Amino acid sequence: MSVQQPASRLQGKTALVTGSTRGLGRTMAEWLAREGASVIVTGRAESDVHQAVTAIQELGVESFGITADLSRVSEAHKLAGEALSRVDQLDILVNNAGMSIIEDCWDVSDDNYEYQMNVNLRSPYILSQRAIRHMKEHGIAGRIVNISTIGVHRTHGDRAIYNIAKAGVEMMTTAMAYEVGPLGIRINCVAPGAMAQRPGQPEDPEAWARTAEHIPAGRIGNADDIAAAVTWFCLPESEFTTGQTLLVTGGHESHLRGG
């Protein structure tokens, strides 16, 4: 297999992408690698991490992996500590890892609440905090990109805790961006809409077609749509943009707004 030569806009940069062994996170990691960034892969399963690292190295950049279960606060700190100890500098953090438990709001247990809040909000906060300290100490004009959901703007009916946590992610984006802007650090957020082929979900083209009827762009989104937005927030061209949440939804929320 021939090795593809990466582009140069992120040459010399190092990116940590959480939840990057598959799905949206894997695609984000590959897009950043194609722009020349070295990539730190994370995931819960060591075999998945190894496979993703190998694939990204074949794109012509350096990559290594760290296993972490971000439902545990201690694991978020461990991930940050190990990542920062293994690189000279961290330039990009993408807080992609996320999950939801589908259930009625009145049935959510304390354990399920804590699990979802830890994965979707608390761990991203910890990782962002540790990354900001590192960037501040080393004078790095870094980038942090958080991942939210259309559910913050037009709620899912059975994912209350997920939507609440992601709303927190969007406010975290705004609050942190305001504080660190003078340091040259830019923090933004991407909110995906309806996505095809979500990890763990069966393929259902008929359901996608029905959903696409309500999307002005005329189709369901895909991983490349999200990775393109994430990558732009990491490029020099986006230097004057910070504290923003970009909805990458094909205009889906405009239909929901209209009923």
DSSP secondary structure of 93-119: EEE---------GGG--HHHHHHHHII
| The pair of three-digit structure tokens given for residue 43, joined into one six-digit string | 């995931």
Count how many domains the chain has.
1
Q: CA 152, 174, 17 angle in degrees (round to 5)?
A: 75
74 assigned to some structural domain: yes
Place of tokens 């094909």: 250
Among 247, 248, 249, 246, smallest CA distance to 214 is for: 249
* Residue ranges in the chain whose pLDDT is less than 70: 1-7, 197-204, 208, 255-259
33 assigned to some structural domain: yes
Cα–Cα distance for residue pair 65/126, rounded to 1 Å: 19
3 assigned to some structural domain: no
44 assigned to some structural domain: yes
**What residues are paired with 38 via a beta bridge?**
14
Burial of 206 (0-12, 13-18, 19+ CB in 10 A): exposed
5 assigned to some structural domain: no
Cα–Cα distance for residue pair 163/103, rounded to 1 Å: 12
pLDDT given at position 126: 98
7 assigned to some structural domain: no
pLDDT given at position 258: 47
Query: What is the domain range of residue 45?
Result: 14-257
38 assigned to some structural domain: yes
CATH number of the domain that residue 192 is part of: 3.40.50.720
Cα dihedral 20→24→28→31 (10° resolution): 120
pLDDT given at position 175: 98
Q: Is residue 125 flagged as an active site residue?
A: no
Catalytic residue among 113, 115, 125, 162: 162
pLDDT given at position 216: 84
2 assigned to some structural domain: no
Place of tokens 């406010």: 171
Query: Quick check: pTM over 0.95?
Result: no
